[in-house]
Amino acid sequence: MAKVRDTAILEPNGEKRVFGPDLIGDAEQQIKMVHGKSYADGRRGDLTFKVDDFVYLKVSPMRGIRRFNMKGKPAPRYIGPFKIVERKGEVAYKLELPSNLSGIHNVFHVSQLKKCLRVPKNKHHFGRFGCAGGSTYTEHPVKILKTSERVTRNRRVKICRVQWKHHTEDEATWEREEELRATYPSLFASHL
């Protein structure tokens, strides 16, 4: 039986291109290597907590939806930290919520929790935001940092970068000028 020989061509840059069975063998090895690799996050695992751990509670980031009466721009993504009182089943935890959040069911799915890496030394008070009944507070713009114009297909929209009362300049948001003028006309008097 005649042995099949590999055919090799020497390229001008000095590389050798192989044709034949070796090429197929190399391709099969590369495919096996790729199939063997896992591209999933290696540190990912089931999230579990212990009783007396502290966690942050996720607040819905979707626009127009207000959970736990958190409103105003920019609403925080997580609130807390809160202490875990009890584990309920495989994926739910009961939290110790403050009295101003007493109207909220205190058992949450693990996907709504984020581990608190530094245990708080003193209790966090929501009063620093000037919370009214029902854990709501009102945001007010402090100043306009920058103005710009966004061009869409058929119109121009003026936008302003606004710093809000309880937030730094780094947390400023872009808002439509016409909405700001309607809601906060005094802001533009000081901006001129």
> Are 105 and 151 in a shared domain?
no
Residue 136 lies in a domain: no
Which CATH number does the domain housing residue 159 bear? Answer: 2.40.50
Total tally of structural domains belonging to the chain: 2
- 3-state helix vs strand vs coil in the chain, percent to 5: 20, 30, 45
> Are 113 and 152 in a shared domain?
no
What does the block give as tokens for 100?
Answer: 């101003």
Residue 169 lies in a domain: yes
> Are 64 and 102 in a shared domain?
yes
- Among residues 92, 122, 152, the one where a domain terminates is 122
Over range 70-76, report the average pLDDT.
58
> Are 68 and 115 in a shared domain?
yes
Residue 12 lies in a domain: no
> Are 115 and 58 in a shared domain?
yes
Q: If phi over 0 gives left and psi between -120 and 50 gives alpha, with beta otherwise, what is residue 71?
A: beta
> Are 117 and 146 in a shared domain?
no
Residue 112 lies in a domain: yes
Over range 49-60, report the average pLDDT.
86
The per-residue pLDDT for 95 is 93
Which has more confidence, 170 or 55? 55
- Among residues 89, 122, 155, the one where a domain terminates is 122
> Which residues of 59-99 form beta strands (DSSP E)?
78-88, 92-96
Which has more confidence, 88 or 125? 88
The per-residue pLDDT for 127 is 45
> Are 112 and 161 in a shared domain?
no
> Are 117 and 82 in a shared domain?
yes
**Phi, psi for 3 (deg, rounded to 5):** -85, 135
pTM of the model: 0.42
C-alpha 28/C-alpha 163 separation (Å) is 58
> Are 80 and 118 in a shared domain?
yes
The per-residue pLDDT for 94 is 94
The per-residue pLDDT for 62 is 45
The per-residue pLDDT for 129 is 47
Calculate ∠ Cα 70-74-76, nearest 5°: 55
Residue 150 lies in a domain: yes
Residue 161 lies in a domain: yes
Residue 17 lies in a domain: no
Residue 35 lies in a domain: no
Residue 135 has pLDDT above 60, yes or no: no
Residue 168 has pLDDT above 50, yes or no: yes
Q: Range of 161's domain?
A: 141-191
